[in-house]
Structure formats: C-alpha cells, structure tokens
Amino acid sequence: MSRIGNAPIEVPAGVEFKVSDGNLITIKGPKGQLTQKVDPDITFELEDGQLIAKRPTEQKRHKAMHGLYRSLVANMVEGVTKGFVKELELVGVGYRASNSGQLLELSLGYSHPIMFYIPDEVKVEAKMEKGSNPSVRLESMDKQLIGQVAAKIRAFRKPEPYKGKGVRFKGEEIRRKAGKTA
C-alpha cells in the first residue's frame, strides 16, 4: 500500500487544476503555471477541494508511479501557491558572490571568477554583509528546477571536510575530519 500515494492533496482557493490529453496536468496559481506529464495509468480526481491520485492495480510499478506522481503534483500545488526558497552560503576567505540580473558571478578561490546564468524561472539574489558569509538566495515555483540549480552552484566548490570551506546549503552540517597529528 502506498501511503504517500493515498494521501489527498489540499487544493487552496485560487488554484486551477486541469488534465488534458489524458496525461498532461496543468496547475495554475497566484505565482504562475506548471505542467507535468503523468503516466497514463495514474488518474487524478478533484473531490471537494482535494486532489486524489488513483492507480488501476496493485502491481509494484503502479504503486511506485502512484506515490511518485502524487508527490510531483503536490509539489506543483505548493509551488504555485507559496513557492520554494533555497539559500546557499559561501564559506572561505575571499569567497564572493554578486549578481546582475540572472547572471551570478562567484569568486571561489579559482584563478578566474565563475559566471553562471540562472534560468529565468528562478529569482536570484546575492548578499554580502560584513561579519557574515556571502550568501545566494534562490526563489522559484518549480521545486525540481530550483534544486537542480542549487546543486549545480554547490558543485562549483563542494565543502571540504578539513576546514569546511566551500559552497553549502544554509544550515547544512559538514562532517569534519581531524587533520594530521604531529
């Protein structure tokens, strides 16, 4: 039994839900519109303000798809109403971040700065305040896209285990190792 797949999705007021061509789901809300292609076997029904995902059989494949697509649609509903935010901080001497529009410029200890173009669906804001590490704030309604962009930025300089320098998510715990002993 898929516990996640059986959980209903609360659809707030002002959010429109539409299924077209049998397997293309479109959700419109105050922050925008998202679409997702869904397996044709999984069906969604709107019953008194709740979306319910249904599967045809108890096959292992159908159970897996049931939970997957229910989660994807739930993330879409949350994205068009509240949106998602990811914050990254740059820990290290001389590490800097700045943005001009959608172009993010990172100085991470390499010989040249890294210029990274952020997709238009993601809003980016780089902050450099005295006394704290530089940070990059990403905001979007698409959870998959914002996660992918944040992972790509983090991959430019992953946190290392000895000094903890690198790009990390805000609040991320880095497992530290002891250095050499004399």
- DSSP labels, the chain: --HHHHSPEE--TT-EEEEETTTEEEEEETTEEEEEE--TT-EEEEETTEEEEE-SS--HHHHHHHHHHHHHHHHHHHHHHT-EEEEEEEESTT-EEEEETTEEEEE-SSSSPEEEEPPTTSEEEEE--TTS--EEEEEES-HHHHHHHHHHHHHTSPPPTTT--EEEETTPPPPP------
- Mean pLDDT, the chain, integer: 91
pLDDT single digits (tens) 139-176: 999 999 999 999 999 999 999 999 999 999 998 899 99
pLDDT of residue 1: 46
Domain architecture of the chain: domains with CATH: 3-81 (3.90.930.12), 84-169 (3.90.930.12)
pLDDT single digits (tens) 111-141: 999 999 999 999 999 999 998 999 999 999 9
Q: Using the predicted structure, report yes or no on whether residue 34 has a pLDDT greater than 70.
A: yes
pLDDT single digits (tens) 73-104: 999 999 999 999 999 999 999 999 999 999 99
